[in-house]
Amino acid sequence: MAVTLYHWEPNANSGKPMLTLAEKGVAYESRYLDLLQFDQHKPDYLAVNPDGTIPAMVHGSRVLTESTPMMEYIDDEFAGPPLKPRDPAARWRMRWWMRYFDAYFAPSLSMIGWSIFIGPAARHRPPEELRAAIERIPLESRRVAWRKALFNEFSAEELAESKRRVLIATLALEQHLGRYEWIAGDSYSLGDINGFNLGYALPLSQPDHCNDTKTPHIMEWLRRIYERPAARATWSKGRTQMSERIKNLERQPKAPNA
Amino acid sequence: MLELYTSEPNTFFLKPLIALAEKQAAFTTRYFDAANLDQFAAGFPTDLEAGLQLEREGPLLLHDGTLISSSFFMLEYISEGLPGRSLMPAEPFDAYRARAWGQFLGANLGSGVTVLGAAKYLRPHLATLDPDWVERRIAAIEPIERRAGWLALRNGTYTEAYLQTVRDRLAAPIMRVEKALKQGPWLAGSEFSVADIDAYPMLCVLPDLASALVNPAASPRIMEYLGRIAARDSVRAARSTARTKNPEQQFVPGVEASRWG
């Protein structure tokens, strides 16, 4: 059965199945959707995923639309190196942290990202065109999010709270990676794939909180994932400047007398 | 050594009790009174994950030194880590559906159910306690995400208009479950699984909390589904652990609603 993946840039939810498929060595047909052109709300795509969220994966007659359970499906269904630990406690830890990334860290980080990047990047069109685009969004929760981003309706309190949460989550992750080499424990897993998609640009977007002095374990973890061939191959599929940010993780050569 | 820290068998406290009974697992119960904030008292078990968990409250499972929190993943842990039949569908796409239901209902149903239940039953209970004692207990709750739900209840910030909005938002996920039950008796695959153990405690209180949405006329399949699950031996065993007369009226603030509006 053929695999088709509908995705945007290798980033956040889209990058999760992209990197998982690459790690497993699964070939797939790539269908790139431009989030900023609202491709995900157009009829062709709504026929695949009526919720209009990305990514979506089609495997034969099966349609998968939730990115984190999608990663577990890819690992369960296909041959290739296992991306879940065998030990049940380590699996639980992997899943706990994926939920923390998905439901706490990522929404706070993306609220900041949408207010300073997604909103301004899509806002140059006439307001009536933007309003019509919002009306086509199937899920109410996504309509609210896009309305806030496009019309810059994030309150100062909301943004301050998101910044507070990003700092708390960064410190928690640093503490966790001080205890364990990888998210699940002693082996690379879906938890690291999830966390990398969330965090590869943290040193650039949060330079005061995420750097070699304050979060050395996060920095080392990000660089170790960046050095994996699957990560390089996945981020090379990016079409915008966004995916270029990964190059910031290149290790700097040490000075000769250091 | 398997110890379950739990309160009255309702909402997320009911889930692991059902799963452990399905597994016929031997465990020790560490009962606490969640409505009296015992889970924030000194000496209650915690660690990095339990302190930050997004359900903010809920059961804890202590197994050979590992403290398991977050109720859906606790169900997966019980399925994978204890002997007995797997509670996860064997077929990968059914397992995907079980996990997708867990994620979708946790975000779209769980937060609303706990708000409605806590506003109806916990708020009047808190009003009967010594205000100074409640004040001190709430002030000691860390992190502040966990404190926020209790403060909203104590301060009465859940207006009737807000609660109606919460109820209205439950319509879409409830209709999604009703539609899914047209395809078969269980949410993921041909057998009772973690998807059903996770969904049932959130759904079974809705004929009380959102009666316009969950009733025999509006959602006949959900009503039939609830009846079938309630009759299972595991669910009867889980409910028999109650220490109050009305465990289905015991709520804590629980899952935080989305901050995106």
Per-residue pLDDT for B256 more than 90? no
Pair of tokens at residue B64: 């050979």
Per-residue pLDDT for B105 more than 90? yes
Give A244→chain B minimum CA distance, Å.
28
Q: How confident is the model at residue A199 (pLDDT cuts 50, 70, 90)?
A: very high
Q: How confident is the model at residue A257 (pLDDT cuts 50, 70, 90)?
A: low
From CA A177, how far away is CA A211, in angstroms rounded? 14
By the 8 A CB rule, do A59 and A1 touch? yes
Contact with chain A for residue B71, Cβ under 8 A: no
Please give the CATH topology (third level) of the domain spanning B1-256: Glutathione S-transferase Yfyf (Class Pi); Chain A, domain 2 (1.20.1050)
- The set of residues, in sequence order, having a beta carbon less than 8 Å from that of B205 and lying 6+ positions away, is B10, B11, B113, B117, B248
Complex ipTM above 0.95?
Answer: yes
Cis peptide before A55 (omega within 30 of 0): yes
Instruction: Select from B43, B68, B41, B37 the least CA-distant residue to B149.
Output: B37
Q: Where are the domains of chain B?
A: 1-256
Q: How confident is the model at residue A258 (pLDDT cuts 50, 70, 90)?
A: low
By the 8 A CB rule, do B52 and A172 touch? yes
pLDDT per residue as tens digits for the range A24-77: 999 999 999 998 888 999 999 999 999 999 999 999 999 999 999 999 999 999
Phi-psi region of A25 (alpha: psi -120 to 50; beta: other; left: phi over 0): left
Q: Compare all CA atoms of chain B with the CA of A104 and give the residue at the minimum distance.
A: B54
Contact B77 A91 (CB under 8 A): yes
Contact B260 A93 (CB under 8 A): no
**pLDDT at residue A151, as a whole number:** 85
- Comma-separated ranges of CATH 3.40.30.10 domains in chain A: 3-77
Contact with chain A for residue B132, Cβ under 8 A: no
Give the position of tokens 């040193």. A203
Contact with chain A for residue B49, Cβ under 8 A: yes
Q: Which of A132 and B2 is assigned the larger pLDDT?
A: B2
From the list B54, B107, B169, which residue is nearest A100 (CB)? B54
pLDDT per residue as tens digits for the range B167-222: 999 999 999 999 999 999 999 999 999 999 999 999 999 999 999 999 999 999 99
Contact B66 A144 (CB under 8 A): no
Cross-strand partners of B2: B63
Per-residue pLDDT for B90 more than 60? yes
Please give the share of chain B, as a percent, with pLDDT higher than 70: 99
**Looking at domain A88-249, which of 3.20.20.70, 1.10.10.10, 1.10.110.30, 1.20.1050.10 is its CATH number?**
1.20.1050.10
Give A226→chain B minimum CA distance, Å.
26
**pLDDT at residue A148, as a whole number:** 87
Contact B70 A88 (CB under 8 A): no
Q: How confident is the model at residue A252 (pLDDT cuts 50, 70, 90)?
A: confident
> Maximum CA pair distance of chain A?
61
The contact set of A with B (CB < 8 A) is 62, 64-66, 68-70, 72-73, 76-77, 88-89, 91-93, 95-96, 99-100, 102-104, 107-108, 111, 140-141, 144-145, 148, 158, 161-162, 168, 172, 175-176
Cα-flanking dihedrals φ and ψ of residue A127, to 5°? -55, -40
Please give the share of chain A, as a percent, with pLDDT higher than 90: 79
| Residue at B96: amino acid letter | Y
| Chain A residues near residue B54 by CB distance under 8 angstroms | 99-100, 103-104
Q: What value does the mean pLDDT take over residues A183-200?
A: 98
Give B12→chain A minimum CA distance, Å.
16
- Comma-separated ranges of CATH 1.20.1050.10 domains in chain A: 88-249
Q: How confident is the model at residue A113 (pLDDT cuts 50, 70, 90)?
A: confident
- The set of residues, in sequence order, having a beta carbon less than 8 Å from that of A207 and lying 6+ positions away, is none
pLDDT per residue as tens digits for the range A15-26: 999 999 999 999
Per-residue pLDDT for B42 more than 90? no
The pTM assigned to this predicted structure is: 0.96
Q: Which of A73-82, B48-57, B180-189 has the lowest mean pLDDT?
A: B48-57
Contact B258 A107 (CB under 8 A): yes
Mean pLDDT score of chain A, rounded to an integer?
A: 94
**pLDDT at residue A121, as a whole number:** 81
| Residue at B154: amino acid letter | R
Q: How confident is the model at residue A125 (pLDDT cuts 50, 70, 90)?
A: confident
Architecture field, domain A3-77: 3-Layer(aba) Sandwich (3.40)
From CA A68, how far away is CA B13, in angstroms rounded? 25
Cross-strand partners of B67: B62
**pLDDT at residue B261, as a whole number:** 61
By the 8 A CB rule, do B98 and B88 touch? yes
Pair of tokens at residue B203: 């759904």
Give A156→chain B minimum CA distance, Å.
13
From CA A142, how far away is CA A56, in angstroms rounded? 16
**pLDDT at residue A22, as a whole number:** 98
Contact A145 B261 (CB under 8 A): yes
Residue A48's alpha-carbon distances to A56, A60, A65, A142, B103, in angstroms, are 8, 13, 9, 17, 20
